[in-house]
Amino acid sequence: MPVTTINDFVQISLAKNQTNSMESLVLISQKLVERMNAERRDDAVNFTRPDLVRANSEKGDLMAFKAKIADNLSAVSKAKGAIEWVENTLDDMLLDLQEILGSGDAEARAAAAAAFDEDLGLINSKVDNANQKIGYQDVNLVGNTTPPDFGVDNLYIRTSAKGGSAFVEGVNLGARFNVEDAEGDLWRYDESTESYIEYSADGTGTPSGASVAADGLTIDSYDADTGAVVFGGTGSLQGTVVRGGIEVLGSEFYSDFADDAAVQRAIDDVTAAIDYVASNGSSIKANATVLQVSNRLIQDRISQLSSEISDITKEEVDATAAEAKAARLKVSLAVNNINLTMQHSTGIIQNLMALTEGQGSAVGVFGLLGY
């Protein structure tokens, strides 16, 4: 458009200034947004914060150690529980035996014999069920021996996350025995088949395939001093009794408590078993206590660290929210100032533009006359 008058020149200049002002305001807005984004955190939580790194690292180490000792703790704890159960059961058996000393009641003696055998069965069941899977191996520190062996498992355990360790030696608390025959073969009573099964004397522990049914088998003679035994009745088996574990035999080896002499032999064996369990089980119980206390302390520390991590995380989130709020407030104030400036500038420009357009025509008749 050609510039023909001073008004045209003024209008063009004002329009250009208005355009430049708008461009400047847009640029300012862009810079404000960039500044707000720069002042905001990229992450809600600063995970590189030293105290948070330390707490997470320690918690991770403790949880890893706790997981590593979980199976060991279970194996030792199960063994400890079995030991305590066997101790209590043997104490009860001893009291029952002492009560029938001097008794002339044949039925009471028979009942005591039945209860005695039941308790021995429960002892075997309790110690055999103290198994714990560690890796691919079943570990039992107090029972579940493989016939005809009497040996139990041993275990190396870590007692602290700082490297402490201990060797836990197993102790057989079962009440089983073998009968070694003249050829050196071993016979072990098997509950599942209710029979005595023969195992080869070649040291492999392999069943030979021979067996003698226990139902109807009776003890014809037994020498408690030498262990020599002869079974008769519905079957035939003889040899030497080789005791394992707590070395307490069934009531049939004590003449079913028919007289006080037999009861006293049982009392002597049970008393020796109580001493055996107390002496040999104390180490396992002590190690179990150490592991249980260590595990409890670890769990307490993990809980404490979890609380610390939670507090730090909340502090970080609160700080992030505060910084974001402050950044938004700064931008909001700046935008308000821009709005005011824009309104003020627009008003000035509009007034100047109005002035360049000159005085408008008069209203009514004077307007029609050109005034």
Confidence at residue 249, expressed as pLDDT on a 0 to 100 scale: 98
The answer on pLDDT for 6 being more than 60 is no
Proportion of the chain above pLDDT 70, given as a percent: 73
The answer on pLDDT for 257 being more than 70 is yes
- H/E stretch holding 231 reads strand 228-233
Residue 163 forms part of a structural domain: no
Same domain, 217 and 360: no
Tell me which residue of 170, 125, 176 sits closest to 147, measured CA to CA. 176
The answer on pLDDT for 5 being more than 60 is no
Confidence at residue 354, expressed as pLDDT on a 0 to 100 scale: 54
Same domain, 296 and 232: no
Report residue 338's pLDDT band, with 50, 70 and 90 as the boundaries.
Answer: low
Same domain, 290 and 206: no
Report residue 20's pLDDT band, with 50, 70 and 90 as the boundaries.
Answer: low
Q: What is the mean pLDDT of residues 36-62?
A: 70
Cα(244)–Cα(188) distance, integer angstroms = 11
Confidence at residue 346, expressed as pLDDT on a 0 to 100 scale: 57
Which of residues 298 and 129 earns the better pLDDT score? 129
Residue 53 forms part of a structural domain: yes
Same domain, 239 and 283: no
Whole-model pTM? 0.70
Confidence at residue 42, expressed as pLDDT on a 0 to 100 scale: 54
Same domain, 23 and 82: yes
Q: What is the mean pLDDT of residues 4-10?
A: 55
> Which among 219, 243, 267 is the end of a domain?
243
Confidence at residue 362, expressed as pLDDT on a 0 to 100 scale: 47
Per-residue pLDDT reduced to its tens digit, 70-107: 899 999 999 999 999 999 999 999 999 999 999 999 99
Same domain, 234 and 287: no
Residue 196 forms part of a structural domain: yes
How many folded domains does the chain comprise?
Answer: 2
Q: What is the mean pLDDT of residues 260-284?
A: 97
Which of residues 135 and 369 earns the better pLDDT score? 135
Cα(169)–Cα(188) distance, integer angstroms = 25
Confidence at residue 369, expressed as pLDDT on a 0 to 100 scale: 47
Cα(41)–Cα(36) distance, integer angstroms = 10
Residue 142 forms part of a structural domain: no
Range with lowest mean pLDDT among 255-259, 337-341, 357-361: 357-361
Confidence at residue 321, expressed as pLDDT on a 0 to 100 scale: 62
Same domain, 90 and 1: yes
> Which among 212, 243, 274 is the end of a domain?
243
Confidence at residue 195, expressed as pLDDT on a 0 to 100 scale: 96
Report residue 50's pLDDT band, with 50, 70 and 90 as the boundaries.
Answer: confident
Proportion of the chain above pLDDT 90, given as a percent: 50
Which of residues 132 and 204 earns the better pLDDT score? 132
Same domain, 282 and 234: no
Confidence at residue 366, expressed as pLDDT on a 0 to 100 scale: 43
Residue 147 forms part of a structural domain: no
Residue 151 forms part of a structural domain: no
Same domain, 263 and 233: no
Domain that holds residue 342: 1-130+257-371
Report the Cα–Cα distance between both ends of the chain, in Å, rounded. 28
What token pair was written down for 167? Answer: 């060797």
Cα(191)–Cα(351) distance, integer angstroms = 112
Residue 158 forms part of a structural domain: no
Q: What is the mean pLDDT of residues 287-312?
A: 83
Confidence at residue 293, expressed as pLDDT on a 0 to 100 scale: 82
Range with lowest mean pLDDT among 166-180, 195-209, 309-323: 309-323
Residue 361 forms part of a structural domain: yes
The answer on pLDDT for 363 being more than 70 is no
Tell me which residue of 169, 134, 133, 158 sits closest to 294, measured CA to CA. 158
What token pair was written down for 352? Answer: 């100047």
Same domain, 111 and 228: no
Q: What is the CA radius of gyration of the chain?
A: 47
Which of residues 338 and 63 earns the better pLDDT score? 63
What token pair was written down for 85? Answer: 């159960």
325: Cβ contacts below 8 Å, ≥ 6 apart: none
Confidence at residue 365, expressed as pLDDT on a 0 to 100 scale: 46
> Which among 215, 243, 271 is the end of a domain?
243
Same domain, 267 and 222: no
Same domain, 5 and 109: yes
301: Cβ contacts below 8 Å, ≥ 6 apart: 58, 62
